[in-house]
A and B are shown apart, each in its own frame.
Chain A
Amino acid sequence: MSKFRKKQGGGTPAISTASLPDIVFMLLFFFMVTTVMREITLKVENVKPFATEIKKLERKSLVTYIYVGKPKAAYLSQVGSEPRIQLNDAFARVKELQQFVITEREAINEAERPLMTVSIKADGQVKMGLVTDIKQELRKANSLKINYSTRKGDVYED
Chain B
Amino acid sequence: MAKRALPEINAGSMADIAFLLLIFFLVTTTMDVDSGINRKLPPWTPPDEIPETPPVKKKNIFTVLVNSSNQLLVEDEYMEIRDLRDATKQFLNNNGDGTCTYCQGGAKSIVSSDNPQKAIVSLQNDRGTSYKTYIAVQNELAAAYNELREELAQRRYGKTFDDLSVEEQNEIKDAYPQVISEAEPVSLG
CB distance from A128 to the nearest CB of B (A): 4
Residues facing A in B123-148 (CB within 8 A) are: 125-132, 134-136, 138-140, 142-143, 146
Question: B11 and A155: CB pair below 8 A?
Answer: no
**In the complex, chain B residues whose CB is within 8 Å of the CB of A140:** 44
| Chain A residues within an 8 Å CB radius of B39 | 146-148
Select from chain B the residue with minimum beta-carbon distance to A27.
B22
| Nearest B residue (CB) for A35 | B29
- Contact present for A56 and B35 (CB under 8 Å): yes
Q: How far is the CB of B186 from chain A (nearest CB, A)?
A: 10
Taking CB atoms and an 8 Å cut-off, the chain B residues in 15-62 that contact chain A are 15, 17-19, 21-22, 25-26, 28-31, 33-44
Q: B139 and A52: CB pair below 8 A?
A: yes
Q: Does B105 contact A (CB under 8 A)?
A: no
Q: Are B125 and A128 neighbours in the complex by a CB distance under 8 Å?
A: yes
B2 in contact (CB, < 8 A) = no
Residue of B nearest to A54 (CB): B35
A34–B142 Cα distance when bound, in Å, is 30
On whether the beta carbons of A36 and B131 are closer than 8 Å, the reply is no
Residue total for B at the interface (Cβ-Cβ under 8 A): 47
Complex CA gap A126/B36 in Å reads 17
A148:B138 contact, CB within 8 angstroms: yes
A81: CB under 8 A from chain B?
no
Q: Could you tell me the distance in whole angstroms from the C-beta of B44 to the nearest C-beta in chain A?
A: 4
Specify which chain A residues have a CB less than 8 angstroms from the CB of B125 in the assembled complex. Answer: 128, 132
A28 to B41, CA, bound (A): 41
Residues of A within 8 A of B21 (CB): 28
Q: Are B135 and A144 in contact (CB under 8 A)?
A: no
B36 touches A119 (CB 8 A): yes
**Could you say which residues of chain B place their CB within 8 Å of the CB of A132?**
125, 127, 185
Q: Pick the contact of B81 from A18, A20, A24, A155 — CB < 8 Å?
A: A155
A124 touches B132 (CB 8 A): yes
Q: Of the candidates A17, A51, A128, A142, which one forms a contact with B36 in the assembled complex, judged by CB atoms under 8 Å apart?
A: A51
Contacts of B82 in A (CB 8 A): 156
Name 11 interchain pairs, CB-CB below 8 A, sorted by A: A17-B12, A24-B19, A28-B21, A49-B135, A52-B143, A53-B143, A63-B34, A126-B130, A128-B130, A146-B41, A147-B39
Listed in ascending order, the chain B residues whose CB lies under 8 Å from chain A are 11-12, 14-15, 17-19, 21-22, 25-26, 28-31, 33-44, 81-82, 125-132, 134-136, 138-140, 142-143, 146, 185
**Taking beta carbons and an 8 Å cutoff, which residues of A are in contact with B?**
17-18, 20-21, 24-25, 27-28, 31-32, 34-38, 49-57, 60, 63, 68, 117, 119, 122-129, 131-132, 135-136, 138-140, 142, 144-150, 152, 155-156
